[in-house]
């Protein structure tokens, strides 16, 4: 398949060649023609699948039809969870806009920097890429108008929800014109994402692209047999004696996540729990600090951990086993993403032994299980 065959205009086909894209990725092949037809799309695609170009290319082409915007009116809004993604997406729009036969202006806005230059930049803007909080601030200061908006894109919707942006997102949706094309991209399809989909999308085309399978061979794994009451001391011992700086710990319940984080803090190890019962602000704060390396331990349940996207995590600890072997591989897969292999440690109580055997069989990998009693800790 070629980019031309997907219905893209010659000036965009030239841009893809300039970017050295040989052929469309799976999500691009499926999403581009549908978006060009003006349909709503629900794209389930992981980071790295080429999803940004999958929407940026047809969005740019659709802008050719639009007349010049009125002052401070925007045509396309892309909502993203983080400032890093905002800048990345803007770069993609810019790189594809170099050869256009029409004018296109895009800008990224996010918190943590002065709002004034962003307000000034709203002049004759077509595509605004924004984090939800800063977008609302700009709207409240009357810096922009939504009346000419015809496309809304939610990028990494699951991460936005995990960061606690649900209220801000709902407020933004209520401000937008009803007639518009909606594109929703998410790495996973959680009940929260489905709820957004129901209110936002109009009989969408659902496009699903599988994540690259985790290469379990890349991950250093070790397990410790441990009694229930020694799990806490073992966790502290491993973090301290190995001088772990960024550790993701998994528990199977929200209650356990709180207990584990509290005990770590009591023992001088900076930790926060993240799960569905935490407030939105707290979730956002913990996740940002952890991804920026300012929080040593994040204790999480499986559900919320899906939105944590860090290129490389050095340590994952399974404080409790997940029920499904699939979740186990998903958890530890975070340490095997880069060339530099990370380490996954699993705690196994006597009761877990059989289930851990099943997990090892399913992932086709035997894990050495050491007796934690041979370690020197209390
Ligand atoms: P994304 O999933 O949008 O974050 O994209 C991941 C990476 O894939 C980016 O570095 C893109 O430049 C690159 N990319 C996107 N589409 C293609 C393609 N068709 N061929 C090669 N690389 C691509």
pLDDT at residue 199, rounded to an integer: 87
Output the residue whose Cα is nearest ligand 1's atom 6. 48
Pair of tokens at residue 229: 């009451």
Are 267 and 193 in the same domain? no
* Ligand 1 pocket member 48 (CB < 6 A): yes
Percentage of the chain beyond pLDDT 70 is: 96
Task: Using CA atoms of 256, 259, 264, 266 in order, give the dihedral in degrees to the nearest 10.
Answer: 180
- Report the pLDDT value the prediction gives residue 306, as an integer from 0 to 100: 66
* 20 or 304, higher pLDDT: 20
φ/ψ of residue 165, rounded to 5 = -90, 10
**Whether residue 51 has its Cβ less than 6 Å from ligand 1:** yes
Whether residues 175 and 116 share a domain: the answer is yes
Q: 46: Cβ below 6 Å to ligand 1?
A: no
Of 190, 208, 226, which residue sits at a domain end? 208
CA 53 to ligand 1 centroid distance, Å: 7
- Summarised one tens digit per residue, pLDDT across range 341-370 is 789 999 999 999 999 999 999 999 999 999
Q: What is the pTM of this model?
A: 0.76
For the chain, percent of residues with pLDDT exceeding 90 = 72
* Ligand 1 atom at minimal distance to the Cα of residue 48: 2
**pLDDT value at residue 312:** 73
Probe residue for ligand 1, chosen from 18, 25, 153 as the CB with the greatest number of ligand atoms within 8 Å: 25
Question: Does ligand 1 lie within 6 Å of residue 21's CB atom?
Answer: yes
Q: Does the Cβ of 50 fall within 6 Å of ligand 1?
A: yes
- CA torsion 56-58-64-68 (nearest 10°) is -40
Higher pLDDT residue, 314 or 234?
234
> Is the same domain home to 23 and 124?
yes
Q: What is the pLDDT of residue 39?
A: 97
pLDDT of residue 307: 63
Render pLDDT for 87-133 as a digit per residue (tens, 0 to 9).
Answer: 999 999 999 998 899 989 999 999 989 999 999 999 889 999 999 99
Residue 211's pLDDT is 72
| 39 shares its domain with 117 | yes
47 ligand 1 Cβ < 6 A: yes
Ranking 8-12, 132-136, 189-193, 304-308 by mean pLDDT, the lowest is 304-308
Based on the fold, state whether residues 159 and 96 are members of the same structural domain.
yes
- Residues 168, 233 within the same domain: no
Q: Is the pLDDT of residue 8 over 80?
A: yes
Q: Which of 125, 3, 131 lies closest to 57 in space, CA to CA? A: 3
- Please state the atom number of ligand 1 nearest to the C-alpha of residue 3: 19
Residues 59 and 175 in one domain: yes
pLDDT tens digit string along 120-167? 999 889 999 999 999 999 999 999 999 999 999 999 999 899 888 999
Mean pLDDT of 252-263: 96
One domain, residues 189 and 315: no
Q: Half-sphere exposure (CA, 13 Å, Cβ side) for 262?
A: 6
Per the structure, the count of domains in the chain is 2
User: Does residue 341 sit in the same domain as residue 193?
Assistant: no
Cα(21) to centroid(ligand 1), Å: 8
We report the CATH number of the domain holding residue 224 as: 3.40.50.300
Among the listed residues 143, 175, 184, 235, the one whose alpha carbon sits nearest the alpha carbon of residue 40: 184
pLDDT (average), residues 190-207: 92
Task: Among 158, 186, 208, identify where a domain stops.
Answer: 208
- pLDDT tens figures, 292-331: 889 999 999 987 676 676 767 889 999 999 999 988 988 8
In terms of residue numbers, what domain contains 341?
A: 216-374
Do residue 231 and residue 270 come from a single domain?
A: yes
Instruction: Note whether 46 and 89 are same-domain residues.
Output: yes
Give the separation between CA 24 and CA 291, rounded to whole angstroms: 30
192 and 221 share one domain: no
pLDDT for 67 beyond 70: no
Report whether 63 contacts 126 (CB < 8 A): yes
Q: In what order do the strands lie in the sheet with 297-300?
A: 271-274, 297-300, 247-250, 315-318, 343-348, 220-225, 369-371
Going from the Cα of 282 to the center of ligand 1, the distance in angstroms, rounded, reads 32
Decide: 95 in ligand 1 pocket, CB within 6 A.
no
> Mean pLDDT, the chain, as a whole number?
91
With a 6 Å cutoff on the Cβ, whether 52 touches ligand 1 is: yes
**End residue of a domain, out of 186, 208, 230:** 208
Give the residue whose CA is nearest to atom 5 of ligand 1: 50
């Amino acid at each position: 398949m070629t980019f031309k065959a997907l219905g893209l205009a010659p000036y965009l086909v030239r841009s893809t060649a300039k970017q050295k894209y040989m052929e469309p990725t799976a999500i691009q092949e499926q999403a581009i023609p549908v978006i060009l037809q003006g349909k709503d799309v629900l794209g389930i695609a992981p980071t790295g699948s080429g999803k940004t170009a999958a929407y940026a290319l047809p969005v740019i082409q659709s802008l050719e039809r639009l007349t010049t915007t009125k002052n401070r009116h925007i045509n396309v809004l892309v909502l993203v969870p983080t400032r890093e993604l905002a800048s990345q997406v803007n770069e993609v729009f810019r790189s594809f806009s170099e050869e256009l036969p029409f004018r296109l202006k895009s800008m990224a806005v996010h918190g943590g920097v002065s709002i004034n230059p962003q307000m000034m930049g709203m002049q004759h803007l077509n595509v605004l890429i924004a984090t939800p909080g800063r977008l609302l601030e700009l709207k409240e200061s009357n810096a922009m108008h939504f009346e000419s908006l015809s496309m809304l894109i939610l990028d990494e919707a699951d991460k936005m929800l995990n960061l606690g942006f649900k209220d801000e997102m709902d407020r933004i949706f209520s401000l937008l014109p009803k007639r518009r094309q909606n594109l929703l991209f998410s790495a996973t399809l959680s009940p929260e994402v489905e709820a957004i989909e129901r209110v936002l999308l109009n009989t969408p085309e659902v496009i699903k692209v599988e994540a690259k399978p985790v290469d379990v061979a890349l991950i250093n794994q070790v397990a410790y047999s441990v009694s229930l009451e020694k799990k806490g001391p073992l966790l502290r011992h491993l973090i301290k004696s190995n001088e772990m700086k960024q550790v993701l710990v998994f528990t199977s319940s929200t209650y356990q996540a709180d207990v584990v984080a509290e005990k770590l803090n009591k023992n001088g190890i900076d930790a926060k729990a993240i799960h569905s019962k935490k407030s939105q602000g707290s979730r956002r704060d913990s996740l940002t600090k952890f991804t920026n390396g300012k929080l040593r331990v994040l204790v999480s349940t499986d559900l919320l951990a899906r939105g944590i996207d860090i290129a490389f995590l050095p340590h994952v600890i399974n404080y409790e086993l997940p029920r499904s072997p699939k979740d186990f591989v998903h958890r530890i897969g975070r340490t095997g993403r880069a060339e530099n292999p990370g380490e996954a440690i699993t705690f196994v109580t006597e009761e877990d032994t059989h289930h851990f055997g099943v997990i090892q069989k399913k992932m086709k990998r035997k894990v050495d299980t050491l007796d934690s009693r041979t370690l020197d800790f209390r």
